């Protein structure tokens, strides 16, 4: 005979497991469906290739080389981890925003300027010892990202300007700032192409393999730190309350506008840190353009993880593996690496259509789900709606 308390605990655990399973199964289903849709794209795209033959097994070749490129051997795994690092941090940035009901699609611009900021300080301290140069450069990148996240947060709080449109605009502006600085004042004199100087001692130390840098550790620590912040601190409670019900938050004495501003700043700081990790860990200098897929991948990472900081880790690993494996896929299966963008886009579409799947599953007779559909914290409201 078990005591009522024990029964309650067991049923509590069971509900938790059911909820976790419900989220995980939908995420896994979304990915599998995206892979099927991606296979369809690969098959269709053969039709336009010159002297292309219709090979129905081509998707399997593509996915096999994608998998081997990501996990086939120690070097591949380290490369996957390196690709995962900025996605963890940028994914956390988007996830933290979601928790406060904010949709930060400006991760791309914050990553770009975070990288630029860390490189600028890195160049200035290139000859200083690492224990001075590295923390300073990391802080600089984080601070620049935070500032770039503060702008849309502040505008949203003060005037209700929707953060989706302002952050997208800021992404484009970040690209212009980068190009202007790298081809102007930061350009190495007499260099044929616009690049900055090397960051010297500010480069991250390598921990594993050929390029498994310090950033891996930073990303891992930050995931747990963000979980702690969101679920074990007052600030986190405020963020989550404002995200789920701003009116209740205001009634409880919280200040939603302040929370929105600071959450967006924190989000920008995380994205800036992601940029610093890319710049200090891999690039070691800046060029006039910067890979922007991190910003969009980060949205996929956060949505797939349902904005749970711990779940961001496996979610980022998935997309990091795709990015890492895409090179081998291009060489062996001759599939352009842009296929990953298709997979990311379609995964997102399936995740957003999740409630429809649930209805569909219920209709075909599966037993009804134990828990309500996990809804994303609402960002409803017009593009220029009044501030909450």
Partner 1 sequence: MDIVHLLYGIPVLGWLFQVAGYLIAVIPTSAPIIMRSVPPLALGALCGVMCERSGVVNIGIEGTMLAAAFTGWVVGIAAAAVFGQGTPLLFGFTLPLAIALAAAIVVAVLVSLLHAWLSITVKADQIISGTIINIAALGVTGYLNTIIAATSPTSAGSFTTLTLPKDVTNLPFVGWIFAALFNQGPITLSVLVCVIGLQIWLFRSRWGLRTRAVGEHPKAAETVGIDVIALRYRNVVMAGVFAGLGGAYLSMEAGNSFQANMTAGRGFIALAAMILGRWTPIGAWASALLFALFLTLGQTIKFVPPTGDISVLLTGVPGQFYDALPYLVTIVVLAGVVGRSIPPAADGQPYTREAAT
Q: How far is the CB of 163 from partner 1 (least distance, A)?
A: 9
Nearer to partner 1, 130 or 160 (CB): 160
Q: How far is the CB of 3 from partner 1 (least distance, A)?
A: 42
Nearer to partner 1, 62 or 222 (CB): 62
Q: How far is the CB of 380 from partner 1 (least distance, A)?
A: 5
Q: How far is the CB of 320 from partner 1 (least distance, A)?
A: 17
Rounded CA gap, 36 and 30, in Å? 10
Q: How far is the CB of 143 from partner 1 (least distance, A)?
A: 21
Q: How far is the CB of 157 from partner 1 (least distance, A)?
A: 11
Nearer to partner 1, 127 or 338 (CB): 338
Q: How far is the CB of 263 from partner 1 (least distance, A)?
A: 16
Structure tokens at 299: 């949205």
Nearer to partner 1, 368 or 382 (CB): 382
Nearer to partner 1, 87 or 303 (CB): 303
Nearer to partner 1, 32 or 252 (CB): 32
Cβ atoms of 204 and 134 closer than 8 Å: yes
Structure tokens at 35: 């892979």
Structure tokens at 129: 């010892």
Nearer to partner 1, 258 or 373 (CB): 373
Determine the longest span between alpha carbons in the chain, in angstroms: 83
In the block, residue with structure tokens 């963000």: 226
Binding stretches for partner 1 (CB under 8 A):
41, 45, 48-50, 103, 105, 155, 158-162, 164-166, 168-170, 172-173, 176-177, 179-180, 183-184, 296, 299-300, 303, 336, 338-339, 341-346, 348-349, 352-353, 355-356, 376, 378-386
Nearer to partner 1, 218 or 300 (CB): 300
Rounded CA gap, 301 and 348, in Å? 9
Nearer to partner 1, 221 or 352 (CB): 352
Q: How far is the CB of 12 from partner 1 (least distance, A)?
A: 29
Is 205 buried (19+), middle (13-18) or exposed (0-12) by CB count in 10 A?
exposed
First to last CA, the chain: 52
Q: How far is the CB of 264 from partner 1 (least distance, A)?
A: 14
Backbone torsions φ then ψ of 206, nearest 5 degrees: -90, 130
């Amino acid at each position: 005979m078990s005591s009522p308390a024990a029964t309650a605990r067991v049923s509590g655990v069971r509900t938790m497991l059911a909820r976790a399973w419900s989220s995980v199964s939908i995420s896994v289903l979304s990915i599998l469906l995206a892979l099927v849709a991606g296979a369809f794209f690969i098959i269709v795209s053969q039709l336009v290739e010159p002297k292309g033959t219709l090979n129905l097994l081509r998707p399997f070749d593509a996915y096999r080389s994608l998998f081997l490129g990501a996990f086939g051997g120690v070097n591949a795994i380290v490369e996957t981890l390196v690709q995962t690092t900025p996605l963890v941090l940028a994914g956390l940035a988007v996830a933290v925003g979601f928790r406060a009901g904010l949709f930060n699609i400006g991760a791309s611009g914050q990553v770009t300027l975070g990288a630029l900021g860390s490189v600028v300080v890195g160049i200035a301290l290139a000859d200083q010892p690492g224990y001075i140069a590295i923390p300073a450069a990391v802080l600089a990148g984080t601070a620049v990202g935070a500032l770039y996240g503060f702008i849309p947060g502040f505008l949203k709080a003060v005037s209700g300007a929707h953060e989706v449109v302002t952050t997208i605009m800021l992404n484009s502006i970040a690209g212009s700032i980068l190009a202007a600085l790298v081809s102007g004042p930061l350009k190495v004199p007499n260099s044929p192409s616009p690049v900055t100087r090397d960051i010297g001692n500010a480069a991250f130390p390598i921990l594993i393999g050929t390029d498994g840098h310090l950033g891996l550790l930073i990303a891992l620590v930050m995931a747990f730190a963000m979980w702690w912040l969101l679920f074990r601190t007052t600030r986190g409670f405020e963020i989550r309350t404002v995200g789920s019900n701003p009116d209740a938050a205001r009634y409880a004495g919280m200040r939603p506008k302040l929370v929105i501003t600071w959450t967006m700043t924190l989000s920008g700081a995380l994205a800036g840190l992601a940029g610093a990790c890319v710049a200090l860990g891999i690039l070691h200098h800046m060029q006039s353009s910067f890979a922007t897929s991190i910003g969009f991948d980060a949205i996929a990472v956060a949505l797939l993880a349902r904005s749970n900081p711990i779940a961001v880790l496996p979610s980022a690993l998935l997309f990091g593996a795709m990015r890492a494996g895409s090179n081998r896929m291009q060489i062996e299966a001759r599939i352009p690496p842009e296929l990953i963008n298709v997979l990311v886009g379609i995964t997102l579409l399936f995740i957003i259509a999740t409630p429809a799947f649930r209805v569909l599953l219920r209709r075909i007779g599966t037993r009804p789900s134990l828990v309500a559909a996990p809804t994303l914290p609402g960002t409803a409201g017009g593009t220029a709606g009044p501030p909450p």
